Structure 1
Amino acid sequence: MSPKPDENLAATPFLDFDHPAVAEFARSATAEDASDKDRAVHIYYAVRDTIRYDPYSIDLSVRGMRASTTLQAGHGWCVPKAVLLAACCRAVGIPAKLGFADVRNHLSTERLRQRMKTDIFYWHGYTSIFIDGNWLKATPAFNIELCQKFNLQPLEFDGHQDALFHPYDQSGNKHMEYIRYRGEFSDLPLEKITGTMTRRYGHHRPSPEADFAKEAENENRIAQ
């Protein structure tokens, strides 16, 4: 059985489950007498569907990447949603880490493709959760409403096996390819992420006027 190292249970400036709002969110999503597996699963769905996925909300400041900031905003991209999931797991005593990979995402929008100049998402984030002696990968990025707009099967997590993005959507079209794993970390490697985004994208500014869900809905309506 793998150890349960202290660094994967501690609060950090990013995984700030000592913030009252994060602690309450984690507590309200679980039952005190539930198993680690059941608590992790319930927290996963709370983060996946309560926090709207928004790739235009990137704020790579320390404050912008905190779990409490994402929770209070009610939206976030894949990395801060993974941070929130990890923080909530730690809040109820379940060890959790942050994992990252570069992925080629075939489900995007024209505006986002123009902004990124590539279909590769660098430092795509997921959460690694310690359950019953095993580290399991869970990706809480796409909320269920967004999956419906993209004709994508929602990613389910059962606490027994990894939950990473499916390679195809419900129509058999390519969705996401993992092209490089960057490892797992006890805390957010913000400087590494910021450096890569600056080199690859040339910017990492938020676009609060953009609406990713509406873009997806409009483009998929036209395609049909």
Structure 2
Amino acid sequence: MNYLQSSYYFDFESEPVQKLISPFKDKTLPEADLAIAMYLYVRDHWKYDPYTISLSEQNYRASTIAQKTTANCVEKSILLITCLRALGIPARLHLGKVKNHIAVERLIEKFGSNELTPHGMVNVYLNDQWLKVSPAFNKSLCKKFNVEPLEFDGKNNSFLQQYNSEGSRFMEYIEDYGHFEDVPLDFMKRNIKEHYPHIFDTKEPKTEFKL
């Protein structure tokens, strides 16, 4: 499998993505430092928003996400993967199911559960190993919920904020769906409909849901 290729979703030849990565095209930087810088940029420049769910192919294109100011975990992962591939760093999408334990009232109200699925993160290939990183939670959001933001050192996994700063459980992974070379939209649609059927109890078919 080639984790450097562009695709319909990882469309790094597009103008929005090229504009985004332009400041990071520094050939003198070590690969790990470049990946760290790109990770931090995506983590903090798109506010995390789990309450907009899309079934539209267009909305999962990196070029579309790059022009937004908010994004959910899958969208932010797609954007980071696309930027990394554009910079010559292999990356792929990893999906799973997580359970949140803090500030869950709105989640339960909207989703009927404190479980979020599919939850997206990134696998990035550095120094002959695949590392797991999650750019989902921006720094300002972490501050709001008293959770340390996930830092990435280019050597170790950085994908789970298990506890907040007071030692209370924040989130946990409860199911792993594995990694994907491209965005598995059909799988994602089935997964969303299976876990949140009430969202789709509407007379008119929709491709985007704002909860």
Q: Answer yes or no: is the 8 Å Cα contact 2:150–2:161 preserved in 1.
A: yes
Counterpart of 2:106?
Answer: 111
Contact 1:40/1:159 (CA < 8 Å) preserved in 2?
Answer: yes
Q: Gaps (5+ residues) in structure 1?
A: 211-224
The answer to whether the aligner puts 1:80 opposite 2:113 as a matched pair is no
Q: Which amino acid aligns with 1:167?
A: Q
Aligned pair partner of 1:206 in 201, 204, 209: 209
Pick the structure with more helix per residue: 1
Tell me which amino acid in the other structure corresponds to 2:80: L
**C-alpha RMSD over aligned residues:** 1.4
The aligned length equals 203
Question: What do the CA deviations read for 1:164-198 (whole angstroms, capped 9, x no partner)?
Answer: 12210001111111111110011111111111111
Query: Which among 37, 41, 44 is matched to residue 46 of structure 1?
Result: 41
Instruction: Give the deviation of 1:31 after TM superposition.
Output: 2.1
Q: What is the identity, as a one-letter code, of the residue corresponding to 2:159?
A: L
Instruction: Choose from 82, 95, 100 the match for 1:100.
Output: 95
Moved over 6 A (4+): none
Equivalent residue runs for 1:1-224 within 5 Å? 5=1, 7-202=2-197, 203=199, 205-207=208-210
Which amino acid counterpart does residue 65 of structure 1 have in structure 2? Y
- Identity fraction in percent: 36
| Matched letter for residue 209 of structure 2 | P
The one-character-per-residue Cα deviations of 1:84-110 (angstroms, maximum 9, x if unpaired) are 000000001101000011111113442
Cα distance, 1:123 vs. partner? 1.5
For the structure 1 residues 108 and 70, does the alpha-carbon distance in structure 2 shift closer, same or farther, using more than 3 Å as the test?
farther
Structure 2 SS opposite 1:86? helix
CA distance in 2, matches of 1:29, 1:206: 34
User: In the alignment, is the contact (CA less than 8 A) between 1:30 and 1:43 conserved in 2?
Assistant: no
Q: Is the 8 A contact 2:104 2:114 kept in 1?
A: no
CA–CA distance in 1 between the matches of 2:18 and 2:67? 12
SS at match of 1:182: strand
Structure 2: which 5+ runs fail to align? Answer: 201-207
Deviates more, 1:155-164 or 1:54-63: 54-63
Mapped contact 2:4–2:85 kept (Cα < 8 A): yes
Give the distance between the partners of 1:24 and 1:133, measured in 2 at CA.
29
Partners of 2:91 and 2:122 within 8 A in 1: yes
Distance 2:118 2:52 in 1: 15
TM-score, reference length from structure 2:
0.92
Match of 1:222 in 2: none
Q: Secondary structure at the match of 2:132?
A: strand
Q: More deviation in 12-21 or 102-111? A: 102-111
Preserved contact between residue 22 and residue 68 of structure 1 (Cα < 8 Å): yes
Deviation at residue 26 of structure 1 after TM alignment? 1.8
Do the aligned partners of residues 71 and 107 (structure 1) sit closer, same or farther apart at CA in structure 2, a change above 3 Å counting?
Answer: farther
